[in-house]
Amino acid sequence: MRPILTGLTTFKVMKNALSGCFIFLMVLNVVQGLQAQQLPQWLTEEEALLLPTYLEQRGLLRGSGPPPWMPRAMAEWEELEGLLITWAGFPTILTQIVEHAQKETFVYIVTQDSQQVKNTLAGAAVPLTNIRFLHAPYNSIWCRDYGPWTIYRNNVEERAFADWIYNRPRPEDDVIPQALAAKLGIACYDAVAAPDDLVHTGGNFMVDGHGTGFSSELILDENGPFNGWNVTVKNKAAIDTIMKKYLGLNRYILMEILPYDAIHHIDMHMKLLDEETLLVGEFPPGVSDGPQLEDNLKYVLDNFLTCYGRPYRVVRIPMVPSTSGLFPPNSYYRTYTNAVFVNKTLIVPTYREEYDTTALRILREALPGYNVVGIDCDNSNAPIIAGNGAIHCITKEIGHSDPVWISHAPVLTAAAGEPILIEARLQSPSGIEYALLNWTTDTTKPFLSLQLLPMGNDSFYAYLPPLAEGTEVFYFLTGHSYSGRIVNKPLPAPKGYWKFTVGPATVSVAGEEGLTLFVAYPNPARTVLRIGLQSTRPVQGRLLFYDALGRKVWERSEQADQSHKIIPVPLDCPAGSYLLVWESAQSRRALQVMVQ
């Protein structure tokens, strides 16, 4: 097993051996020689010598500055217009990625010999219809780490790229985002000039598309007081500011590095499957990085809620030992979380059938409707996992230029006998012409469609009819843009969908007044609670809000009638459980509300 290397450690050992430009010129020749031998994902000892003068010598302090608008970094499961790979070794694996990905989107291939790539693909009977070539120099295959991040203005408009300093002294790799941006005719905003000179790596970053990012604390080491790169020293607050300006992050969750993961990239042990689901690798109890991984997961679950104000759902997937049963640091870091979304397909690294069968089943259950396919990353003549990476590490998403973005907190349950509110936010550069709620209680029958009604600020809603307790509901959303694009969420719908089971009826006492609707959303709520009222005839009543001790927090008079009245109420109360009550001369109804 190779030693665990970090740029800081190696730099401290060697920094006095040689000096400045002589180091740079000598070691650059070595790195160029290593390129032919397929550079690993980790920092080599030769490369570590480059760090002190690398940025200055190579002229990489080229920063454009942040975008002049607040960006939104897209999530990996959003619709792609392309997938980036670099043709730098491992042709069998890359060919299979192209085979699966080109059925879903364009594949952009970085190469200096497109004919050789075409010959390889043709020899494997892979069509070339969705292939695009980016003729540019490169150093390595690990485009996840140096590739660009798709960002949008106003959530969906003015697609652009964000970039930072690749945490390896590989100058050709580090300018590929600019080359791709030029090919696509879009802007690339670089966080590379002081005070925004951020050293970072894509394998150590995940984002939920709603302003939450995840990384290990490697980013603190590589930008801290002893970073070795001669970049501006930054603390967590300074890094947060950069991530806000370039990627639109509102919160940046950092976890402790794992002791035996040599590169400290979170994509080697976790993955966001959607806004609220964490896929997390699992070691046998007490083994390898298992204890620290469990502590990290507990830290996230104990301290953070999803972008919809709810606890994260966790899906566990086994980590794979060597054939002799060993785990890191005594074997390679075999992981299934190092997978990539390509629209309706998930491409997963595989290792050995006895583990692969279980892992693929877990992923298909967690991602209904997706085409989950595996590519062997271990048992070939040149196993890529030996380089500390797999499928996610050698691919990078390119977001769609005309997206239809749908943000929706899936319904978890609903009250029997009450209309069921479905609310979503939909945006597109050309605007949303109309949106649909598609639903059924029997997946063997066609989905029924209801039009989602606009209620301002790109928000839409519809109500499912009252249903009996125990009814299973399956549904998905569809957005139609004025530009003619149609996008579902979940993306693979109708094969994929959300589902929930109708629960018990809410409290209702003291007579009937024709009140057919009494709902509160979002639930849990944070800053604003929206209350829905509807009645078959006009009824005067009042809304009351009580805390867990029965103390009245507020009260307001309202009239319910046949219109779908939506009442926004600002919340100025501590987190906890509350009771929302509708009370009139004829009846009293109550709903439990959680405030986060």
Per-residue pLDDT, 237:
97
Is the same domain home to 241 and 226?
A: yes
Is the same domain home to 322 and 426?
A: no
pLDDT > 70: percent of the chain: 90
Per-residue pLDDT, 379:
80
Per-residue pLDDT, 514:
64
- The 10s digit of each residue's pLDDT in 143-175 is 999 999 999 999 999 999 999 999 998 989 999
Domain boundary among 440, 474, 503: 503
Which residue, chain included where needed, has tokens 């605007």?
A: 431
Beta-strand pair 199-200/507-509 = unpaired
Residue 395 lies in a domain: yes
How close are the terminal C-alpha atoms of the chain, in Å? 47
Q: Indicate if the alpha-carbon torsion angle 341, 344, 347, 348 is positive or negative.
A: positive
Residue 1 lies in a domain: no
Residue 2 lies in a domain: no
Q: In the structure encoding, which two tokens stand for residue 330, read together?
A: 């005594």
Q: Is the pLDDT of residue 512 over 80?
A: no
Residue 206 lies in a domain: yes
Q: For residue 223, name the pLDDT band (cuts at 50, 70, 90).
A: very high
* Mean pLDDT, residues 77-91: 96
- Which residue, among 456, 502, 449, has the nearest Cα to 477 in the 3D structure? 449
Average the pLDDT over each of 70-74, 190-194, 545-549 and give the range with the smallest value: 545-549
Per-residue pLDDT, 13:
30
Is the same domain home to 175 and 246?
A: yes
What distance in Å separates the CA atoms of residue 594 and residue 203, rounded to the nearest whole number?
36
Residue 218 lies in a domain: yes
Domains in the chain, number: 4
- The 10s digit of each residue's pLDDT in 169-195 is 898 999 999 999 999 999 999 998 899
Per-residue pLDDT, 24:
38
Is the same domain home to 372 and 443?
A: no
CB atoms within 10 A of CB 549: 6
Note down the domain range covering 418: 405-503
Is the same domain home to 284 and 242?
A: yes
Length of the chain, in residues: 596
Which CATH number do you get for residue 281? 3.75.10.10
Is the same domain home to 130 and 12?
A: no
Q: Taking a C-beta distance cutoff of 8 angstroms, is the pair 193, 65 a contact?
A: yes
Which CATH number do you get for residue 546? 2.60.40.2550
* Mean pLDDT, residues 437-462: 92
For 332, counting Cβ atoms within 10 Å of its Cβ (0-12 exposed, 13-18 middle, 19+ buried), the class is buried
Is the same domain home to 389 and 415?
A: no
Per-residue pLDDT, 184:
97
Q: Give the highest mean pLDDT range of 54-58, 194-198, 254-258, 551-555.
A: 254-258
Strand partners, 214: 206, 253
Q: Is the pLDDT of residue 248 over 70?
A: yes
Is the same domain home to 255 and 360?
A: yes
* Mean pLDDT, residues 51-62: 66
Strand partners, 313: 277
Q: Taking a C-beta distance cutoff of 8 angstroms, is the pair 142, 393 a contact?
A: yes
Domain boundary among 454, 472, 503: 503
Per-residue pLDDT, 102:
97
* Mean pLDDT, residues 346-358: 97
Which CATH number do you get for residue 417? 2.60.40.1220
Is the same domain home to 483 and 537?
A: no
Per-residue pLDDT, 1:
28
Domain boundary among 503, 536, 556: 503
Mean pLDDT of the chain: 88
- Contacts of residue 411, defined as CB under 8 A and 6 or more positions apart, other chains included, come to 420, 422, 473, 475, 498, 500
- The 10s digit of each residue's pLDDT in 382-424 is 789 988 899 999 999 999 999 999 999 999 988 888 788 898 9
Q: Is the pLDDT of residue 313 over 90?
A: yes
- Cα dihedral 195→200→204→206 (10° resolution): 50
> Which amino acid makes up residue 364?
R
Residue 385 lies in a domain: yes
Is the same domain home to 243 and 161?
A: yes
What distance in Å separates the CA atoms of residue 354 and residue 419, rounded to the nearest whole number?
47
Is the same domain home to 218 and 149?
A: yes
Q: Is the pLDDT of residue 443 over 60?
A: yes
Per-residue pLDDT, 508:
45
Q: Taking a C-beta distance cutoff of 8 angstroms, is the pair 384, 373 a contact?
A: no
Strand order in the sheet with 313-318: 270-274, 277-282, 313-318
Is the same domain home to 333 and 440?
A: no
What distance in Å separates the CA atoms of residue 230 and residue 132, rounded to the nearest whole number?
37
